A and B are shown apart, each in its own frame.
Chain A
Amino acid sequence: MSQPQTINLDAVREILSRHKDTKGALITVLQEIQEAYGYLPRPALSEVSAAMGVPLSKIFGVVTFYAQFHLKPRGKHVIRVCLGTACHVRGGERMLEKVGEILGIGPGETTDDQKFTLERVACLGACGLAPALMIGDQTYGRLTGKRVEELIKQYREN
């Protein structure tokens, strides 16, 4: 996918204006930018660097350290399949394969229509209902292959 030529950085500036003088706010700033744009656009990071006086290299260090940050755009719905212990022993990998099969992508990838991104996660805290996955902010448990199909269908439609 080609990235848009110009990115409107107003949201970045607004976020920076609220946090740039708070100590230790770098991660919060990055989280809010990602929330607004869906990922961390390169020009936004340059803006952060200038405003907060943190070298870009240091920002990249932080961004690449945490699994949550993304330098590339992601799909509208992020599906995170749990591979934590409880899900592992109750068939989590199988669910990951199933979602991958349905969407035609592997973990870490996004569908061509930008609708879904598939990720793995180690425990969603719904272990009592393993195997589990999360779509956006919503957690689903007691999965079966069939339930996964239904869920994806449901999200595909809206």
Chain B
Amino acid sequence: MSAQLHAFLERREKVKEKANAPITQPQVFVGMGTCGIAAGAQDVLKALREEMDKHNLRATIKKVGCIGMCEQEVLVDVQFPGSPRVTYGNVTPKKVSRIVESHLKEHVPVQEWVVGEVATPDDPYPGNPFYTKQKRIVLRKCGFIDPESIDEYIAMDGYSGLVSVLTRMTPEEVIEEVKKSGLRGRGGAGFNTGLKWEFARKAPGDTKYMVCNADEGDPGAFMDRSVLEGDPHAVIEGMIIGAYAVGARSGYLYVRAEYPLAIKRLKKAIADAREMALLGENILGTGFSFDLKIKEGAGAFVCGEETALLASIMGQRGMPRPRPPFPAQKGLWDCPTVINNVETYANIPGILVLGGDWFASMGTEKSKGTKVFALTGKVANTGLAEVPMGITLREIIFDVGGGIQGGRQFKAVQIGGPSGGCLPESLLDTPIDYDQLNRTGAIMGSGGLVVLDDRTCMVDVAKFFLKFTQSESCGKCTPCREGTLRMLEMLENISQGKGTEDDLLKLERLAETVKDASLCGLGQTAPNPVLTTIRYFRHEYLAHIKDKTCPAGACKHLITFYIDAEACTGCTVCAKSCPVAAITGERKKPHVIDPALCIKCGACEESCKFGAVLRGKEGAV
């Protein structure tokens, strides 16, 4: 056994012992992913330190990644030796002093703010409906380890998959195991990962590359960010194993620039892995070498497409090119290149530790394992949920997600982002399965699930996505560049009440053409949101066209804001909030909106505490 390997095994023994030993001093965990920080975790942490100093208390403060409950951020956990770990939700700097005084000082938890008691990484909060139907494999360590500590990763069997691969398996055996698992790419298209690796292994050439697609461009999705921020080593380990399997010596992590925290944590993780001989020359003394570089994206959605991403790594404009040749044959600098998504790589270590059969035992016939979803929009529990394949959309939205926010009515779920589609209530029993989702006109996508309620207009949603893809179209091929623009114009007209039924037919025809004729996945999938909304919500389009109304009250051109004189208390808040001084009225008397001046920005509606600002049909008042 090499000295490096010996050192690693010894260290693993030690950190495991330490991790399993009972704690001797109280521990405080603060969720410090981007979402936690966005909710104010930084201030909470500061308040915690100050309060503890004030009371002369000592505890280990651990910064952990995201455990998935975005709705309850900031999350703070307190644990005493010999007691369970208690989680507080919606913590603010103000709440900290009571938590410190009561719980940390007097050992009495502040029950009213407690979310639950943490059990195990597999089922963090037994009985909590958000977790009951989840199956945490990729997210297992997120929220439990300090992502900046390689030791904590190793203590939870991190890099053990790599060790068994390097010491006991041939590259072919690794590929066999991954094939056996049935793992399909989590970046959207769902290509079989083991097969992709096999193609790259068999492709001629001495220089080969591994690339991780961490561009996560779908608006409304943050699965990859959470994995990178909460468990960066898992992705790195997956890439090293892949490199060994295909015979690559260098690799790139292409991370979007909007994720500064993920980049920071990856940099640290790479440096730590290098130091322990897990990355770089002669890994663990086995003679295998592989090194990794980070490339920051520069703000272009199309760079999530694999050939565009490769062009961007090479310092060029991120424009896609026709495939074949596929990157596995001809990628970076014309060398065979494997490109996989973050979540795909994060699944690899587990497959090598527990086996392909274990992985394949979860899911449906052709979709194995789990999928992480970013649950957002008008759902009660927003957050990150990892569910076994085969679970239905209904279960995700109503059981995990807790149904619709504010007790409103479910209308649709958008799955797969700008390349995906909107599905209605009647399709909620569709299981999470690549092929069954494709049949509905939507796609599995990378994991964005945006829930829409009765106040969301489907024409507006279609317009939103098309506006996005149209502006992100790289302009290389005509169907996508021109087609999406014309489609957008038609949608614009419809949402302004200027569309005709003929426009709707034209829109459908053009959508099919753009789908068939575009060069890359961007254009080929851009019409999906439009086509699915027309397919399942045609009546809403017709309401805009024939009746000139927006049933959801969202399309500005088709609504009027007015004030309900009964409900108005004359508090003047709306008048003050109006940017164009369209609201008049005396204090304590009902106010009125002048429709001629109103720009329909909705500021008054948002500011009114009495629900007195209402939306009516254009011209109704």
**Which residues of A does B touch, CB under 8 Å?**
23-28, 30-31, 61-62, 65-69, 80, 82-91, 94, 97-98, 101, 121-130, 132, 134, 137-142, 145
Contacts and interface: CB of A to CB of B under 8 A. Distances in A.
Nearest to A68: B299
**Secondary structure class of chain B's binding surface, majority of residues:** mixed
Nearest to B417: A85
A123 B219 contact: yes
Closest 7 CB pairs of A and B: A128-B70, A84-B219, A85-B220, A26-B315, A67-B299, A66-B298, A141-B38
A100 to B, nearest CB: 10
10 contacts: A31-B298, A67-B299, A68-B257, A68-B299, A84-B220, A86-B450, A97-B579, A123-B217, A123-B220, A127-B222
Contact of A67 (B298, B448, B461, B606): B298
Contact of A97 (B296, B382, B384, B601): B601
Given A65-B474, A123-B222, A127-B221, 7 more contacts: A24-B314, A24-B333, A65-B319, A123-B221, A125-B258, A139-B38, A141-B39
Contacts of B472: 122
Contact of A86 (B220, B259, B314): B220
Contact of B258 (A25, A69, A91, A121): A121
B258 A134 contact: yes
Contact of A127 (B297, B333, B376, B461): B376
Contacts of A84: 219-220
B298 A69 contact: yes
B299 A66 contact: yes
B376 A139 contact: no
B312 interface: yes
B222 A128 contact: yes
B243 interface: no
A50 B375 CA distance: 49
Interface in B375-390: 375-378, 382-384
Contact of B377 (A85, A98, A122): A85
A65 to B, nearest CB: 4
Contacts of B375: 128
Nearest to A64: B317
Contacts of A122: 217, 219, 301, 468, 472
Contact of A27 (B35, B218, B298, B378): B298
Interface string B197-228: 00000000000000000001111111001100
Among A24, A86, A134, which residue has the most Cβ atoms of chain B within 10 A?
A: A86
Given A85-B219, A86-B377, A121-B258, A126 B450 contact: no
Nearest to A126: B38
A67 B257 CA distance: 11
A139 B35 CA distance: 8
A37 to B, nearest CB: 16
B306 interface: no
Interface in B91-148: none
B527 interface: no
A66 B318 contact: yes
B143 to A, nearest CB: 14
Interface in B277-333: 295-301, 312-319, 333
A65 B472 CA distance: 10
A61 B601 contact: no
Contact of A62 (B37, B295, B317): B317
A94 B220 contact: no
Contacts, number: 159
Nearest to B298: A66
A30 B571 CA distance: 53
A84 to B, nearest CB: 3
Interface of B: 34-35, 37-39, 70-71, 73, 216-222, 225-226, 257-260, 295-301, 312-319, 333, 374-378, 382-384, 414, 417, 448, 450, 452, 456, 461, 464-465, 468, 472, 474, 577, 579, 601-603, 606-607
Nearest to B252: A24
Given A65-B300, A85-B464, A138-B37, A126 B222 contact: yes
Contacts of A132: 38
Given A27-B312, A68-B299, A89-B378, A128 B384 contact: yes
Nearest to A82: B219
A62 B377 contact: no
Nearest to A88: B464
Given A67-B298, A91-B606, A94-B603, A128 B383 contact: yes
Among A28, A85, A88, which residue has the most Cβ atoms of chain B within 10 A?
A: A85
A89 B382 contact: no
B258 A24 contact: no
Contacts of B34: 124-126, 139
Contact of A125 (B225, B299, B312, B577): B225
Contact of A89 (B39, B70, B452, B601): B452
A71 B226 CA distance: 32
A105 B194 CA distance: 51
Contacts of B217: 122-123
B300 to A, nearest CB: 5
Nearest to B315: A26
Contacts of B464: 85, 88
Contact of B315 (A27, A83, A130, A137): A27
A54 to B, nearest CB: 8
A23 B333 contact: yes
A124 B601 contact: no
Nearest to A69: B298
Among A88, A127, A128, A141, which residue has the most Cβ atoms of chain B within 10 A?
A: A128
Given A65-B300, A123-B218, A90 B377 contact: yes
Nearest to B257: A68
A66 B472 CA distance: 10
B374 A128 contact: yes
Contacts of A123: 217-222, 258
B295 A27 contact: yes
B214 to A, nearest CB: 11
A65 B317 contact: yes
Among A25, A65, A67, A137, which residue has the most Cβ atoms of chain B within 10 A?
A: A65
Contact of B601 (A68, A94, A129): A94
A69 B606 CA distance: 35
A140 B43 CA distance: 12
Given A123-B221, A127-B374, A101 B579 contact: yes
